[in-house]
Structure 1
Amino acid sequence: MDFEVPAEHRMIRDEIREFCESEIAPIAQELEDDHRFPRDVFEELGALDVMGVPISEEYGGLGGDQLMYALVTEELGRVSGGIGLSYAAHVSLGSKPIELFGTDAQKERWLRPLAEGEAMGAWALTEPESGSDASDMDTTAEKDGDEYVINGTKQFITNANVAGSILVKAVTDPGAGYGGISTFIVSPDDEGFEVETIWEKMGLNCSPTCEIRFDDCRLPDERLLGTEGEGWKQTKKTLNGGRISIAALSTGLAQGAFEAARDYATEREQFGSPISKFDAVRDKLVGMYRKTERARLLTHKAAVRYDAGERVTRESSLAKLDASEAAREVAEDAVQTLGGYGYTTDFAPQRFYRDAKLMEIGEGTSEIQHLVLGRQLGL
């Protein structure tokens, strides 16, 4: 059992950390205040060759693994939850399924620009009425000759208004239950596709979250990803990797919040001493560190097992559950450590606190993770 991060992985992590500290951290709050998607940042990430970390080099990716991808995601989350979220959605949800399930032609046409950083990816599963039962969907794709006609609405779709392609789940066989769901590659230029709403949110405001609508959106049959009826199986496999990325993002949020609180506590003096010397503050910081380290270990364990080709439903769900709750708890303690300053936008903890809450909701709520883990444990 080796807990040391491989040298190549450390090199990529350190390069991205330096980029984050120099290019993202100084503008992170400004991006949130302006609700601005930082396209220029993602172009620079493309130039650094990390927009397709776990994608094969054959299709423009870095050829890395899930652990390397988790490290990059954590570093982004350490300075900006919004950038980290859009990055994770692009890689895990918008890009990886095309590599896993697509044809060579689909990979060349749709995956390559994503992996090379020329376009953003998105994934459309959730619907206005579906909630945690994501398989209960009303969006349909009816076959009409050599085309599919898509109708319906998708909700809370990350990157939808900035994406070059969107992977859309739709019902192709209404009577087949889980086996009647399929996946389609949609371009924002397709007639009948429209972004209806860009949501105002509690946090993560530089990462766009959209409602999208399909009104007789016609797609050629080569836009079907995989075969008809495979959509739900694809979804479950995709979420195993996606939950690891959310665990990594959550770990990054926790790390950023911890560092902000530690730096403040070691500089802020009361009664002639840094407040980090007071038992109440020191114990709080130690607890924050413990939770962050635990989240990181669970995330790395899930990523390593994913890379080994093992089934990781249990590990990815546990990592996502623990890290997302740790992010929120650590960020809340960071706000408390800074007192009144922690409640102001001049300091980062309030941003981490707002951003962290979504980690307990997206990619399956904490309640759903308990359900998944209970089943995995035979309960």
Structure 2
Amino acid sequence: MTTRPLDLLDVDALHSEEELAIRAVVRRIVDDHVRPNVAQWYERGQVPVRDLAKEFASVGLLGMHLPGHGCAGASAVAYGLACLELEAGDSGVRSLVSVQGSLAMFAIWKYGSDEHKDRWLPGMAAGDLIGCFGLTEPDHGSDPGSMTTRARRDGDDWILDGTKMWITNAPVADVAVVWARTEAGVNGFVVPMDTPGVTAREVKHKLSLRASCTGEIVLDGVRLPADALLPAARGLKAPLSCLTEARYGIVWGALGAARDSLHTALDYAGAREQFGRPIAGFQLTQAKFADAAVELQKGYLLAVHLGRRADAGVLRPEQVSVGKLNNVREALAIARQCRTILGANGISAEYPVMRHAANLETVLTYEGTSEIHQLVIGQKLTGLAAFG
């Protein structure tokens, strides 16, 4: 009799019936709409963002943890479970949902005016409008405070100039939340993507996260009305709070890629025979499985703890850094280990493991590299900032 890795500690007992029901819905939509197609999307480097957004919106996944304006208002733990199931399909698919809900929609929901919220959030929740989040620049990733994108006043209007890079959803987006330096510091702007002077170019030739639409946004004398400014966003803490929101989803999502890799390897090892018996029966293979299962469960317990703190309104950014650092690092190690169990078949698109491992190389560095999260934790432990 076999036991699935997350059943070893009976972690389902940690969840309410509602949370498990939401998980089941997301698992079904991934099984129906992602798994049959994702290997092809990955190989081609193309993903039907708008079609997927509509499917996800049909079950309330877009901005699901936000209240009002057509959003589901689900708990943080339920949102985490959704991220796990989405990334069990593919990291790029989870990124679509994360950027839409936890970056673009969250920024408008938290920092926008009532007019911003009424104009954009219902359509984004319904999947009719796609959003993106413009913070990272070609020369400024881990140090967003050094951004060179500028916004200057011209009468009552704003004029934006600059370039944003590695922006998920940008080539198909209807609206971008763009962060720029003004005389007052860092401010956020709601930028319709059809505004004159805005150009989005798709990033090609990626070797990771290929089932995700990634682009560069060029802002060349983009004129925006005064009310394009996010009125409640003042300083760099505003975009960083959005990143914390998105990083929380990654804490859960990475576990989905790890779980799917481990399930695939277990099924494969039970059927693959060498030296007259299934390779699952060899001690070295079982040691790999045991270590992977232990790390998966530890990461899951950490994610649940952070989720409960988020639902209680007491989750702190450095705690999210602990989750992102640990869970992505361990998920990548699990995917790599599972690839070895599949041997040569591990590099075939017939199995998802190599795709998960390649994707997790990107997840390891976006939304804060491992080194940045180490420094966040280190600062909290020592009281000394070691950035720069």
> Is the TM value for this pair above 0.5?
yes
Question: Structure 1 counterpart of 2:226, which letter?
Answer: D
**Off by >4 Å, runs of 4+ in structure 1:** none
1:313 equivalenced with 2:317 (yes/no): yes
Deviations 1:85-132 (A, max 9, x none): 111111111111111111211101011211222222210111111131
Whole-Å separation in 1 of the counterparts to 2:141 and 2:194: 28
Does the 8 Å CA contact 1:55/1:115 hold for their aligned counterparts?
no
The equivalent of 1:84 in structure 2 is 94
Conserved? CA contact 2:63–2:102, under 8 Å: no
Percent identity between matched residues is 32
Once residues 174 and 76 of structure 2 are traced to their aligned partners in structure 1, the CA distance between those partners, rounded to angstroms, is: 23
Other-structure match for 1:268: 272
Please show how residues 224-243 of structure 1 align to structure 2 within 5 Å.
Answer: 224-227=229-232, 230-243=234-247
2:24 counterpart letter in structure 1: D
Q: Cα offset for 1:377?
A: 1.5
Please state whether the residue corresponding to 1:217 is helix, strand or coil: strand
Answer whether contact 1:99 1:107 (CA < 8 A) is retained.
yes
Q: Secondary structure at the match of 2:108?
A: helix
Which position in structure 1 is the counterpart of 2:262? 258
- 1:249 correspondence with 2:259: no
Deviations, residues 26-68 of structure 1 (Å, cap 9, x unaligned)? 1110111121122322211111121121121x30001112211
AA matched with 1:299? A
SS at match of 1:148: strand
Aligned partner of 2:376: which letter? V
Structure 1 residue aligned with 2:23: 13
Which residues of structure 1 form unaligned runs of 5+?
Answer: none
Compare 34-43 and 245-254 and name the one that shifted more.
Answer: 34-43
User: How many residues matched?
Assistant: 371
C-alpha distance in 1 between matches for 2:158 and 2:13: 49
Residue of structure 2 equivalent to 1:291: 295
Q: Determine whether 1:280 maps to 2:284.
A: yes
| 2:216 is the alignment partner of 1:206 | no
Whether the 8 Å contact between 1:124 and 1:169 is mirrored in structure 2 is yes
Match of 2:197 among 183, 192, 200: 192
Partner of 2:166: 156
1:196: how far off?
Answer: 3.3
Shift of 1:172: 0.7
Match of 2:113 among 96, 103, 108: 103
Q: Any gaps of 5 or more consecutive residues in structure 2?
A: 1-11, 384-388
TM-score normalised to the size of structure 1?
0.94
CA distance in 1, matches of 2:326, 2:315: 19
**Counterpart residue identity of residue 253, structure 1:** A
Aligned CA-pair RMSD: 1.5
> Which whole-Å CA distance do the structure 2 matches of 1:376 and 1:116 have between them?
39
Aligned partner of 1:40 among 51, 60, 85: 51
Alignment correspondent of 1:302:
306
Which of 336-345 and 37-46 deviates more?
Answer: 37-46
Match of 2:5 in 1: none
Residue aligned with 1:309, SS: coil
Work out the CA distance in 2 between the residues paired with 1:123 and 1:245.
16
> What's the CA shift string for 1:166-222, capped at 9, x where partnerless?
11000012xx6xxx0000011111111001342321121121111110000011111
**Offset, 1:227:** 4.4
Residues 182, 227 of structure 1: 8 Å contact kept: no
Say which is worse superposed, 147-156 or 305-314, in terms of deviation: 305-314
TM-score, length of structure 2 as denominator length: 0.92
Question: What CA deviation, in whole Å up to 9, does each residue of 1:357-379 have, x standing for no partner?
Answer: 11110010000000000111125
1:65 matches 2:79: no
CA contact (8 A) 2:247 2:367 kept: yes
Q: How far apart are residue 271 of structure 1 and its match? A: 2.3
